[in-house]
């Protein structure tokens, strides 16, 4: 990994320079970074395009004020990348990832007309489309140009994010400890770190499964160690349980697809039983403090948010009020949630989409994702392990209802990799030592 960093020093130095410019002046970053990206057309810097977008999404999730520039730069950067791809579309591999979502986007645009925040709603709809259009195109191109460089770049970037966060825990703990209690790394909050580590675990395990010769054994253990420590220190229940579920499916689906489905479905059926007895189970293991059992006993803010969302879904059951409506609604009832001890969002991606686009939109949204999972399953059944892990994660967090975050882009990358035959082609070089 160190050798890769040295070899790709220009790439990572570029990301560092972007950060320094943004920290110095948000206005300068808004001008310089998109213009710099525009010059990549001549340089064929496709890897920097993808990693740069992921990096900006990551910084935009941070609660540190000096990374705030990324929030305004990322949509402009995404539009520039989309323009570059569209301008040279004749030379790019044909990718149909976003085609599965066309009906959903038609519904989402229709819902914009009923939105109390129409401009914001239209922006969010367009940004989701851009992510589903741009990222798969970049993945396909990079797999053809230099697959090893691309895949190692993904893993190195994700690992660096986690390792830097872990290092800061001991060097500058105030920067990465959320509200003086829980570890959040470079992410905005501990649950965000849990989601990032979970998504990155899936990405790395799948890359390692088909290309283990890209990594030494030492690198393998360092990467898994960074992921594991991040999950443990963050104490994110959703991230930990989703990771365990994915790993169980990862093992099972490699052996037998039918057995994998039977066992994973059985786990989901028994999930409610575990939840109903979670307090007793956690207490019996002596992990009350780690899993914050007091929040379970009080019902947790998620329950309040779920009930609130379900109540308002009844007013817009079939058709929603556009992307961003849930955030608008939560803001209107900020005092109510503050009194209930809840901060944040609905904490359920499907309830959020239901509120925003109605049941019709939710069905189209789920169909779009399932169709891409099915395409990937034609190459490997292991993708179903990703699905089960994602279902659990997205039922306790709303990240899949948003596009320009450091999580959704990872899922799009994973499905784009697994849906491309070029990803599976490899040289039999054996493991590095």
Residue 433 located in a structural domain: no
pLDDT, residue 305, reads 83
> Closest by alpha carbon to 67, among 194, 154, 176?
176
92, 119, 134 - which closes a domain: 92
Question: 167 and 79, same structural domain?
Answer: no
Number of domains into which the chain is organized: 2
Range of the domain at 11: 1-92
Q: Are residues 24 and 128 in the same domain?
A: no
Give residue 433's pLDDT.
36
Q: Which of 92, 117, 142 is the last residue of a domain?
A: 92
For residue 128, being part of any structural domain is answered with yes
| 3 state SS of 96 | coil
pLDDT of residue 1: 77
Residues 330, 332, 333, 335, CA torsion sign: positive
Q: For residues 266 and 398, state if they share a domain.
A: yes
What are the tens digits of pLDDT across the range 232-269? 999 888 899 999 999 999 999 999 999 999 999 888 77
Dihedral-angle region of residue 23 (phi above 0 means left; psi in -120 to 50 means alpha; beta otherwise)? alpha
CA quadruple 33, 38, 42, 45: dihedral positive or negative?
positive
- Which of 61, 92, 123 represents a domain boundary (last residue)? 92
Regarding whether 390 and 294 lie in a shared domain, the answer is yes
Same domain as 183, residue 58? no
Distance between CA atoms of residues 352 and 333, nearest Å = 15
Q: Which residues pair with 432 in a beta bridge?
A: 216
In order along its 433 residues, the chain shows pLDDT tens digits of 788 999 999 999 999 999 999 999 999 999 999 999 998 876 668 999 999 999 999 999 998 999 999 999 999 999 999 999 998 887 787 889 999 999 999 999 999 999 999 999 999 999 999 999 999 999 999 999 999 999 999 999 999 999 999 999 999 998 999 877 889 999 999 999 999 999 999 999 999 999 999 999 999 999 999 999 999 999 888 899 999 999 999 999 999 999 999 999 888 777 656 655 555 555 555 555 555 555 554 445 677 888 888 999 999 999 999 999 999 998 888 777 777 666 667 889 999 999 999 999 999 999 999 999 999 999 999 999 999 999 999 998 999 999 999 999 999 999 999 999 999 986 544 444 3
The verdict on 79 and 106 lying in the same domain is no
Same domain for 239 and 166:
yes
Question: What pLDDT is stored for residue 343 in this prediction?
Answer: 66
What is the rounded CA–CA span in Å between residue 383 and residue 137? 20
Residues 6 or more apart whose Cβ sits within 8 Å of residue 391: 268
Q: Are residues 14 and 125 in the same domain?
A: no
Reported as a single tens digit per residue, the pLDDT across 2-16 is 889 999 999 999 999
Asked if residue 232 is part of any domain, the answer here is yes
282 occurs within a structural domain? yes
Whether residues 106 and 164 share a domain: the answer is yes
Q: Which pair of tokens denotes residue 426?
A: 């490899």
Confidence at residue 338, expressed as pLDDT on a 0 to 100 scale = 74
Q: Is residue 138 part of a domain?
A: yes
In this structure, are 209 and 71 located in the same domain? Answer: no
Torsion of CA 189, 190, 191, 197, to 10 degrees: 110
Q: Give the pLDDT score at 432.
A: 43
- Does 168 lie in the same domain as 281? yes
Domain assignment present for residue 13? The answer is: yes
Please tell me the predicted confidence (pLDDT) of residue 393. Answer: 94
What local confidence, expressed as pLDDT, does residue 297 receive?
A: 47
Same domain, 357 and 213: yes
On whether residue 432 sits in a domain, the answer given is no
In a domain, 67, yes or no: yes
């Amino acid at each position: 990994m160190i050798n890769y960093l040295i070899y790709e020093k220009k790439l990572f130095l570029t990301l560092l320079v972007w950060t320094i410019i943004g920290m110095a002046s948000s206005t300068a970053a808004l001008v310089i970074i998109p213009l710099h990206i525009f010059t990549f057309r001549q340089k064929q810097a496709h890897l920097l395009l993808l990693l740069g977008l992921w990096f900006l999404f990551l910084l935009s999730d941070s609660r540190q004020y000096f990374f705030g520039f990324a929030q305004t730069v990322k949509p402009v950067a995404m539009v520039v990348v989309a323009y570059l791809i569209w301008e040279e579309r004749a030379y790019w591999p044909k990718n149909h990832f976003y085609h599965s979502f066309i009906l959903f986007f038609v519904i989402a645009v229709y819902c914009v007309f009923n939105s109390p925040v129409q401009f914001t709603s239209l922006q969010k709809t367009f940004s989701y489309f851009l992510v589903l259009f741009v990222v798969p195109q970049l993945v396909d191109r990079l797999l053809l140009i230099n697959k090893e460089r691309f895949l190692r770049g993904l893993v190195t970037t994700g690992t660096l994010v986690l390792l830097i966060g872990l290092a800061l825990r001991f060097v500058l703990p105030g920067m990465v400890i959320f509200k003086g209690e829980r570890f959040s790394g470079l992410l905005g909050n501990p649950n965000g770190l849990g989601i990032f580590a979970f998504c990155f675990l899936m990405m790395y395990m799948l890359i390692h499964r088909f290309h283990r010769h890209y990594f030494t054994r030492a690198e393998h253990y360092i990467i898994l160690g960074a992921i594991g420590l991040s999950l443990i220190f963050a104490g994110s229940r959703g991230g930990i349980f989703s990771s365990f579920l994915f790993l169980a499916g990862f093992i099972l689906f490699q052996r037998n697809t039918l057995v994998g489905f039977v066992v994973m479905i059985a786990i989901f059926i028994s999930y409610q039983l575990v939840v109903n007895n979670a307090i007793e189970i956690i207490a019996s293991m002596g992990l009350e403090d780690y899993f914050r059992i007091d929040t379970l006993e009080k019902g947790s803010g998620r329950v309040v948010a779920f009930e609130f969302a379900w109540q308002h879904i009844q007013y817009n059951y079939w058709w929603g009020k556009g992307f961003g409506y849930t955030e608008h609604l939560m803001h209107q009832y900020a005092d109510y949630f503050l009194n209930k001890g809840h901060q944040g969002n609905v904490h359920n991606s499907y309830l959020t989409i239901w509120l925003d686009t109605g049941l019709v939109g939710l069905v189209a949204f789920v169909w779009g994702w399932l169709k891409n999972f099915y395409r990937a399953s034609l190459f490997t059944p292991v993708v179903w392990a990703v699905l089960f892990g994602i279902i659990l994660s997205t039922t306790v967090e709303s990240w899949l209802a948003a596009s320009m975050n450091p999580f959704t882009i990872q899922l799009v990358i994973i499905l784009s990799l697994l849906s491309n035959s070029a990803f599976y082609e490899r040289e039999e070089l054996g493991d590095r030592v």
